[in-house]
Amino acid sequence: MVKKFVFIAFSVILFAGCNSNELEFDNIDLPTVNGAFDFPLGTATYTIRELILDQEDSTLDFQVDEDSLITLLYYDSMSYESNTDFIQIDDISNGGSIDLSGVAATAGPAVIPLSQSFTFDFNPDDPTDVIDSAFYSGGEVTVNVTTDVQGVLDYTFTLNNFVTVTNEVPLVVSSTNPVRGLAIPQHKVLLSGTGNMFTVDFAGNINLGAGQEFFGTESITFDITFANQTFSVIYGKFGMDTVQVGSETLNIEFFREMGEEGIFFGNPEMRFFFENSFGIPIGVDFSGLFGDDGEGGTQTFLTGDVVENLPVIASGDINNPGVIVRDTIVLSNGNSSIVDLLATSPARLGFDVSAISNPEDPNRINFITDQNEINATIEIEIPLEVRLEDLEQSVNLSLNDGFNTDFVGDEGSEVDSAQLRVVTVNEMPFSATLQIQIRDSTLTTPPSDSLIHTMPAVNVPPVDVLASPFINVNGEVTDPNGNFANIPLDSTGIALFSTPPTKQTYIQMRVTLNTPGSLNSRDIFVKILADYRLEVSLGIRAFLDVDLDDL
C-alpha cells in the first residue's frame, strides 16, 4: 500500500488499505441467503507515525519532539556571486592633443620642450557609482601617440592616480619604455575625492636635427586606453542597486497531496541563513517569493511587514575584505502571510528573491572583491499544528480495483438493496464526510469526464464517516471517538456495481476533512501527534435473495 500524508490518510486507508482484491471468496461454500447479509471487506489500524514518517521526498525531513508533535522540515539553498551587478568597470578610453599654439617656429638643430596636464574620466558603467580605490588583478593600459612634427619626439605620460601597491609610485609610460600592460598585481588606482577623475602629466621634447623645422602648424595627439580590467578589490560608494540574488524552485510533494485549499498551519517558519562576504549591506526583497501548483498556475505571493520593510543582511568588514558575515532572516506568521501562502497547498515554492544594496544609506562606503558571494540555506519548518476547513481529498480507483462485486451475481435485480458500512475508532483530531461518485472518463478530444451516479444522492448530505474526538485546551486528543456510518446503495448504484464496468468507468471517493472550531471562531489549531491511531473497518451489507453457490 502507498502511504500518504495524514490528511488524506482516511481516504487511503479506506480505499487502498482495504483492498478487496486481496480477499478470496472462491473457496467458500455459501448457502442460499435471504434477507440481510454482511460482507466484511477488512479492518486496518494505523498510527500517524506509520503514515507520515515513510514519505519518499529527498527534500523533506521529519522531527518528533518529546511531546510526540511532528514537525515537517524542508531544505533548499541559493547562491549569488555576480559582483559586477553592483559595480562594473569596462574598457575606458580617453584622448587629447598637446597644445602647440604657443610654440614659436624654429629651425634645427634645436630642442623644443613641451609640458601639459590633463584630467580624464575613469567612470564605471553607472556614473552614479563613486570609486575610492581599486586594486588590479588583470588588464592593460596602452598609450598611442600620433604626430606629424619633424625630428624625434621624446615623451613621458605620468598617470598620477595609478600607483604601485607597495610604495604608491605613479605609473609612467614613455617613448623609450612604452607600457603594454599593467605590472599585475602591483598597481592600484586611487580616486578618492576626485569624482572618478584621474590626472595625466605630459612632458616631452621635439628634437630637431639640421635642416629640420617646426612651423607651428603641426599636431601631437594621443589616446590612453584601459582594457580587460579586473580587480581583486574595489572600494567606493556603489549606491542603491536591485539585483536578483536567488531564483530557485522547491518542489514539495508533501503539499501536492493535500488539495488546493482548506489547510492552515499555526506556526510555520521559513528561515534564511545568509552568508555574505560582500562589503555591501543588502536589503532582501521577499515580494518575489511565491507558491503555485507546480505548473506555473495561480501564483500566490508573500506579503506582510517583511515585504514592506526589507530586512537587511549586514555587510562584510571593510578592514577584512572576504571575511564572511552571517545573518538570519525568519519569515513567520508575525511578519508575513506565510500561513495564507501555505494554505494554498503549493506544490512548488519559488524563491525569486531580490536584493537592494545600501537600502538605508546609499552614500555608505562599500567594497567588493573578486571572491565575494552571498549564500543562503533555506529551512522551512512546519509544526503539525493545523486547522482544516473543508479540506477535500479525492481518491480514484476503477470499479474492479475498488470492490469485489461478485457477490451481487449476474443480475443486479437479485440484490434488493445494499449499504456500505464504515466503522471507525479515531484518535486523529479531525472529522470527515464521504461522498462516492461513479464517473466516466471518455477518451475523446478533448477528454470529457461525466458524473454517472452519486452515493448518497445529490440532494443528500455526505455521510459522516469520521467523528472528531475530544480535544483539550492544548489542541491534543485525550480519548478516541468511535463512529459508524452506512452509505446506502440505491438500485442505480447496485446495478453499476453489478455490471462489468467499461474501461473508462471509475469510482471517485471524495473525503472532506474539518477540525473543530469554537462557537465564534475557526482559529483553533490542533496538534498532530505521532502516536495518534485510526482504526477503520469496512464492509457491505446486502439485502438479497440469492443462492450464493450460483454466483
CATH number, domain with residue 167: 2.60.120
Percent of the chain with pLDDT over 70: 79
Instruction: Report the distance separating Cα 428 and Cα 451, nearest Å.
Output: 32
Determine the 3-state secondary structure of 82 from DSSP. Answer: coil
- Nearest residue to 338 via CA among 272, 386, 269, 388: 269
Instruction: Report the distance separating Cα 24 and Cα 390, nearest Å.
Output: 37
Name the band, by pLDDT with cuts 50, 70 and 90, for residue 236: very high
- What is the structure's pLDDT at 29? 43
User: What is the per-residue pLDDT across 38-91, written as a single tens digit (0 to 9) for each?
Assistant: 777 677 777 777 766 565 566 678 888 888 888 888 888 888 887 778 888 888
Per the document, the length of the chain is: 551
520 and 397 housed in the same domain = yes
Based on the structure, what is the number of domains in the chain?
A: 3
Is there a domain that residue 62 lies in?
A: no
302 and 156 housed in the same domain = no
* Residue with the three cell numbers 440469492: 546
Q: Which residue segment(s) compose the domain that 145 sits in? A: 87-237
Is there a domain that residue 290 lies in?
A: yes
**Does 403 score more than 80 pLDDT?**
no
3-state secondary structure 161-227: EEEECCCCCEEEEECCCCCCCCCCCCEEEECCCCCCEEEEEEEEEEEECCCCEECCCCCEEEEEEEE
Instruction: Report the distance separating Cα 128 and Cα 405, nearest Å.
Output: 79
Final residue in a domain of this structure, among 194, 213, 237: 237
Per-residue CA distances from 489 to 23, 215, 344, 524 (Å): 21, 117, 35, 36
**Does 256 score more than 80 pLDDT?**
no
- Phi, psi (degrees; rounded to nearest 5) at 451: -85, 125
Instruction: Report the distance separating Cα 531 and Cα 47, nearest Å.
Output: 6
**β-strand pairing of 391-398 with 269-276:** unpaired
Cβ(316)–Cβ(328) below 8 Å: no
In sign, the C-alpha dihedral spanning 277, 280, 281, 285 is negative
160 and 214 housed in the same domain = yes
Contacts with 393 (C-beta within 8 Å, 6 or more apart), sequence order: 7, 8, 11, 257, 258, 259, 510, 511, 512, 513
Name the band, by pLDDT with cuts 50, 70 and 90, for residue 304: very high
95 and 212 housed in the same domain = yes
204 and 255 housed in the same domain = no
- E strand residue ranges, 472-532: 477-479, 481-489, 505-514, 526-527
**Does 26 score more than 60 pLDDT?**
no
- Comparison of pLDDT for 305 and 17, the residue scoring more: 305
**Does 314 score more than 60 pLDDT?**
yes
* Residue with the three cell numbers 513567520: 332
Is there a domain that residue 65 lies in?
A: no
Name the band, by pLDDT with cuts 50, 70 and 90, for residue 114: very high
Per-residue CA distances from 390 to 12, 15, 430, 431, 511 (Å): 18, 20, 11, 10, 9
Average pLDDT of span 175-187: 74
441 and 471 housed in the same domain = yes
In sign, the C-alpha dihedral spanning 303, 306, 310, 314 is negative
Cβ(282)–Cβ(357) below 8 Å: yes
Determine the 3-state secondary structure of 102 from DSSP. Answer: coil
Helix ranges (H only) for 475-545 are 491-498
451 and 523 housed in the same domain = yes
Final residue in a domain of this structure, among 351, 383, 415: 383
294 and 413 housed in the same domain = no
397 and 546 housed in the same domain = yes
How many beta carbons lie within 10 A of that of residue 318, not counting itself?
A: 12
Peptide bond into 109 cis (omega under 30): yes
Is there a domain that residue 249 lies in?
A: yes
Is there a domain that residue 63 lies in?
A: no
Cβ(198)–Cβ(122) below 8 Å: yes
- What is the structure's pLDDT at 443? 59
Instruction: Report the distance separating Cα 410 and Cα 396, nearest Å.
Output: 25
469 and 538 housed in the same domain = yes
- What is the structure's pLDDT at 550? 56
Range among 300-304, 441-445, 471-475 rated most confident: 300-304
- Nearest residue to 76 via CA among 97, 54, 60: 60
- What spatial distance separates the first Cα and last Cα of the chain, rounded to whole Å? 29
331 and 419 housed in the same domain = no
User: What is the per-residue pLDDT across 343-396, written as a single tens digit (0 to 9) for each?
Assistant: 888 888 888 888 899 999 989 999 999 888 889 999 999 998 888 888 877 766
Final residue in a domain of this structure, among 237, 266, 298: 237
pTM: 0.74
- Encoded amino acid at 72, one letter: L
Is there a domain that residue 248 lies in?
A: yes
424 and 297 housed in the same domain = no
Is there a domain that residue 161 lies in?
A: yes
Alpha carbon 530 to its chain's center? 29
User: What is the per-residue pLDDT across 440-454, written as a single tens digit (0 to 9) for each?
Assistant: 776 565 666 778 888
Is there a domain that residue 275 lies in?
A: yes
Q: Tell me which of 31-45, 75-89, 249-263, 311-325 is least confident.
A: 31-45
**Does 215 score more than 80 pLDDT?**
yes
- What is the structure's pLDDT at 235? 94
**Does 181 score more than 90 pLDDT?**
no
